């Protein structure tokens, strides 16, 4: 199972993005189920609405909800990152928690940013 992060999803949505095309190919070649989180959906929809772009294709992705269990983990992730001096955005902590709690790999271009969350059980899509 792969959870696609906002940065990857945005690149995939860009028609002339070579980076997005390569990302799509990697995901499809993996043969794994693909999901986005409710948080990712919000982030990308916001950007599309702001730019007046259509969102129909985005709504085709299956969405993983943000649960109480995710809130418990993401609050710990955010606090721990802050204490270590490498704060993480609240939405990234939330997305990571959804991935961890669903046993999914997170596909993000911001690997360095998310690598510190491996101690919480986060797996990154190669």
CATH code assigned to 2-124: 3.40.50.1010
Over residues 92-122, the pLDDT tens digits come to 999 999 999 999 999 999 888 788 888 889 9
Query: From first to last of its 126 residues, what are the pLDDT tens digits of the chain?
Result: 999 999 999 998 887 889 999 999 999 999 999 999 999 999 999 998 998 888 888 888 999 999 999 999 999 999 998 998 888 999 999 999 999 999 999 999 988 878 888 888 999 998
Domain borders along the chain are 2-124
Give the pLDDT of residue 114: 86
Q: What is the pLDDT of residue 43?
A: 93
Continuous H helices in the chain: 6-13, 18-30, 38-51, 68-83, 90-101, 111-115
Phi, psi at residue 5, to the nearest 5°?
Answer: -80, 165
pTM confidence score? 0.90
The whole-number pLDDT of residue 96 equals 95
pLDDT score at 76: 95
Residue 39, Cβ neighbours under 10 Å: how many?
25
């Amino acid at each position: 199972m792969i959870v696609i992060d906002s940065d990857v999803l945005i690149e995939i949505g860009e028609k002339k993005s070579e980076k997005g095309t390569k990302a799509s190919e990697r995901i499809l070649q993996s043969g794994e189920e693909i999901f986005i989180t409710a948080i990712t959906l919000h982030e990308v929809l916001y950007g599309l609405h702001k730019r007046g772009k259509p969102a129909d294709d985005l709504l085709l992705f299956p969405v993983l909800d943000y649960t109480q269990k995710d809130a418990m983990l993401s609050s710990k992730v955010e606090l721990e990152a802050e204490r270590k001096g490498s704060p993480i955005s609240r939405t990234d902590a939330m997305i990571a928690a959804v991935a961890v709690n669903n046993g999914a790999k997170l596909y993000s271009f911001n690997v360095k940013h998310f690598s510190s969350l491996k101690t919480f059980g986060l797996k990154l899509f190669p």
